[in-house]
Structures are given as C-alpha cells and as structure tokens.
Structure 1
Amino acid sequence: MYPTLSKKKATCIRQLALKKYRLEQAAFVLEGKKSIQALLSARYAIKCIVGTSSFFVANQDIVASIRKETEVFETKKEVLSGLGSFVHNHEVLAVAAIPSATEPSISPVDITLALDGIQDPGNLGTIIRIADWYGIATILCSQTTVELYNPKVLQASMGSFAKVNLHYVDLPRYLEGLKLPILGATLDGQPVHDFAFPGHGVLVIGNESHGIQPAVKAILTEAIAIPRYGQANSLNAATATAILCDNWKRFCCPASGR
C-alpha cells in the first residue's frame, strides 16, 4: 500500500535516539499506537509515519487521520523494532518536527507547575501526565531539567505531552517576574493538610536529589510539605507532584472533578 522504508531514511530515524541529532534535525521519534493517535490530534507537524502493513490494514481510523504532507512508509516488524528506543514496538512510529519555542502562557486563575532540575525522564513524563490529569496547562522547566523529547519522557507521558505546554526558561529570573503566589515543595514547609492554598499560582518541584535550588527558594512565597508518617527519607518527585496537585485542586475546586 505504501512505499518501503529506505535504508537511508531508517538511519536518519535511528539517529534521533540521541539528543544531538534531535537538535540538528529539529525532530523526534514517537512510538506506539496510542502515542501516534495523540500526535495526530495535536499541533505537531508529522514528517513521516512508519508502520507494518498489518498495522495500516487494522487501523484505518489512523490512516484516515494522516495529513497529506506526511510521508508514510511500510517496513517489517523486525526493522521497526530497531528504529526506535523500545524493542517491543512492532507496530508503528512517527517522526515529528520539534516546534519553535514560544513564550509561556501563565494562567491567572489556575495552577502552573515549575520543575527545577528534574533529571529522571520517567519522572518528567509522569509529571506531564499528572498535569494533564489535573487540567494544568503549563509547565515551566529550568534549563537543567531533562529534555521533553527524550524517548523515555515521551513514553512515560502516555500522550499527555501533546496536551500540556512545556517551556524551558531561566527559572529564577522568570519566577521573579511573576506577580503570583509561588509555592515550593520542601521537607520543612507547612503541612499541606492544614495549608490554605491560594486560588492560583505556581507550584515548584525540585531536583530529585538536591531539591529546589537556593536562587529559586529565595523567591518562594510559601514552602509546603507532605507530612511523613513512616521512615522514608523522601518521596519520588512525580509522586510528590501528584499529592500536592491533588491537595491544591481539592482545596480550590472540590466539586469540579469527574
């Protein structure tokens, strides 16, 4: 039905597993049916889609959604599994253009997340998914936060990367210019169970090992903490984000969930 993927094109796709080539080509790879479905309904320009003939036959809804400017190639599942980062992907992958950076849009009536040096790709992907779940439209990332288009970040986001806006900024400088409440997750902050959350503002989540950097901590209007009842030294960054977002949303809009 579609032309066979060439060796030259396959080499270009494999290179995108490395950040160096993602930056050079301004493109990234996304793998798996659900992720491709999210991509097709999002703002991303899709350069090409590569799948097995059986995938295209069984997924006519996806075929119908492919834009005219997108190249489509067939290949064998053995070749497909070697193109991306996940050997279990035997169905489909896409190469999409990395969009140009835009200015963040900060909501004056809701929560914005700020990530200060999150390093683990799984954490970032999960936090993006959490933001999507709680209706948080914007995430600010420090320049030391792991790259959005890292394959493990995209995989962990489960398609939510296409519905949440991420912006990499000079975090201390950017936060300093906001006239909003800025809350930071710390081990010695006010317990969230007794905290009167504002109706809007920024929630800062720090690095997995070192927490929030001093330059950002100096800008916080409030430090908040999740009460500890056991002996663990800390919580996973994504887990802490979910708990804090849940407490903030329950306090400010308890009847709006579905």
Structure 2
Amino acid sequence: MATRKKTRIAAMADIHTKSTDKGILRSTFKEINEKADILVICGDLTDTGDEEEAKILGEGLEVLQVPVIGVLGNHDYEKGRQKIIKQILADHDMTILDGESIVVNNVAFAGVKGFGGGFEQYMLSLFGEDVMKQFVHEAVNESLQLDRALTRLEQESPELPKVVLMHYAPIKETIMGEPEQLFPFLGSSHLAEPLSRRQVTVAFHGHAHAGSPKGETATKIPIYNVALPVLRRQKKDQSFIVIEV
C-alpha cells in the first residue's frame, strides 16, 4: 500500500475582522499559500457579527490559493446575522461547518461552534432552573452534532485522518491563563467526548485569548488553541500555525 502524503494544515482563529480591516490579512494569506495545503479558521471571523465585516473578510480570502474551512464563533452571532455571514463567506468559497463534515485533500474535517459549560468534575449539570438546563443543553447538543459529523466520516472515509474545528475549548488545559471565573464560559468537556470516541487526529479551537497554545485530551489527542492573541504571545506577528496530518 502506498504511503499517504501528509497534508499541511494552517490554523488560526479570532481574527475579528472589522469594517476598517480591508487588506489587513493579505500578506498572511499569501504566506499560507506557500506554507500550507488547507487553511482552517476557528471562529470569531467577524468582530461584531456584521455582514459588512464578513464581506471584508470574503474579499481578503480571494488571495488564497488553498481551500479554506471554518466555524463561526460567538462574535459572529452577536447581531443574529450568522446565516447571512455564512452565506457571504460561502460566496467567497469558504466552507463553514456547523455540525457538518467535509473531505478535502485526503483529510476528513468536522466542525461545530461549541459552547460553554465548564470542565471535568466542575461541568454544569442539567439541574435547577430551566434557563440553566437550556445552557447545559446547548453544550450537549453541540457535542452531539460533532459526534454525528464524525460518525459520518467514519462510515464514508474510515481510512482518512479526522480533524475537528471548534470555537469553544474542549479541554481545560488550553484555556489556562484565563481567569478561573471565566472557565464555564470558555468551553466544555462535553466537546472532548466525541474526539476520543471517534479517535480524532487533532482538534483546533480559539475563543480563549489569554489561554495556552497546546494541550491534549485524556486519550492523548492534541488540541491547539489558535486564537490570534495566543499565537502572537508565542511569536510576534505570528498569525497561524501549520500542522501536518
């Protein structure tokens, strides 16, 4: 059997495109053309969830010569225009995953936004007021959507490496550095369950700007926090990392 050629994935998150940001990522995208085979962007594509911001990002993406896949983040939901944002970016050939999966360059991708809820023994539970139960249900539903997407990939492309994109964190390790009071709003251990169950190769997220760059699940799946502020704390002007799978 021939050895599968590795695919270079550039990953970034929390680019928070503003209406004044025309051309701001042009040099970054040109560099990605040279260093990667695919770009993934893990949420907070816009700064205030405005379609004009999405248009600015879409125009910027036109310089890319590699496929781009992403998920939405909480900022992209701010004005309730997330469906419009998704369509604008689709019109610029960006694939936004929301419980869906796709195979690109012999790599299987699944993506969800994710949600909060806390980690490990401190996860919020389905108990108490209805509004608290709704909060926990949101995290559980995002996890179930991810599991279904990964199940489809297992059935359709079992031989391919599986890569997951999300905005919220699936483990506590990559949000360390944030105030502990914010942990329940930065991610949920529910999101880690399908990663381990479906033997994912690697997962990327953002959202935790003051978090840590890398961690792993209990089953040793590598998790990368690729929020721009995290990347730039590691290296000045760094806007993405490249991982081979």
**How does the TM-score come out when normalised to structure 2?**
0.30
Between the two structures, name the one with larger relative contact order (CA 8 Å, sep ≥ 6): 2
Q: Flag the structure with larger Rg.
A: 1
**How does the TM-score come out when normalised to structure 1?**
0.29
